[in-house]
């Protein structure tokens, strides 16, 4: 599948098997509206989405291997997304439901050799496929502090000023 080099791409974290199953079988991912409006608005909505799997996804730990072309972005409450979930304080929260038709697989995964505290990373297709991104994801951080995360994000996405 071909991407334009300037297409916006969002990398979202997948830290549980239930979300992995939704991505693979139902073809959607959620982003809290509050987080997107605050942190992602400069480059929202994405045309593409990729998924960073944590260690909880045993077949793909600490890597990005799947991505998809976004087909729609709609606002929905958590209750609408998960009607079987018991009523709780999160039920009325709004999320962007990012839908896509097919999950693609990278020919070579982007690996992270160390645990990273990330939620979302905005980038472009061009940066997504560059070897620099793979190098950044696999290098050791000198310190595990917020400024390190900001520098890492700045290098791959250019969103931190």
> Contact, 81 vs 92, CB < 8 A?
no
CATH number at residue 73: 2.30.130.30
Task: Look at residue 1 and tell me if it is in a domain.
Answer: no
Q: What is the pLDDT along the chain (161 residues), one digit of tens a residue?
A: 555 546 888 889 999 999 999 999 999 999 999 988 887 777 789 999 999 998 899 999 888 899 999 999 999 999 999 999 988 888 899 999 999 999 999 888 877 766 556 667 777 766 666 644 444 343 333 333 344 444 545 554 543 33
Q: What is the pLDDT of residue 159?
A: 38
Domain range holding 94?
Answer: 8-157
Residue 31: inside a domain: yes
pLDDT of residue 63: 87
What pLDDT is stored for residue 35 in this prediction?
A: 85
Summarised one tens digit per residue, pLDDT across range 52-77 is 998 899 999 888 899 999 999 999 99
Q: Is residue 20 part of a domain?
A: yes
Q: What is the pLDDT of residue 2?
A: 56
Distance, CA of 133 to CA of 101 (rounded, Å) = 26
Q: How many structural domains is the chain composed of? A: 1
């Amino acid at each position: 599948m071909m991407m334009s080099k300037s297409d916006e791409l969002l990398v979202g974290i997948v830290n549980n098997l239930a979300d992995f199953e939704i991505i693979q079988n139902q073809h959607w991912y959620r982003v809290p509206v509050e987080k997107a409006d605050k942190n992602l608005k400069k480059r929202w909505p994405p045309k593409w989405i990729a998924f960073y799997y944590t260690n909880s996804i045993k077949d793909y730990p600490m890597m990005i291997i799947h991505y998809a072309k976004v087909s729609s972005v709609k606002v929905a409450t958590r209750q609408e997304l998960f009607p079987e979930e018991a009523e709780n304080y999160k039920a009325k929260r709004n999320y962007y439901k990012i839908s896509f038709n097919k999950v693609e697989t990278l020919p070579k995964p982007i690996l992270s050799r160390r645990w990273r505290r990330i939620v979302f990373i905005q980038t472009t297709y061009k940066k997504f496929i560059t070897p620099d991104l793979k190098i950044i994801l696999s290098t050791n951080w000198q310190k595990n502090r917020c400024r390190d995360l900001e520098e890492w994000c700045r290098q791959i996405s250019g969103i931190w000023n």
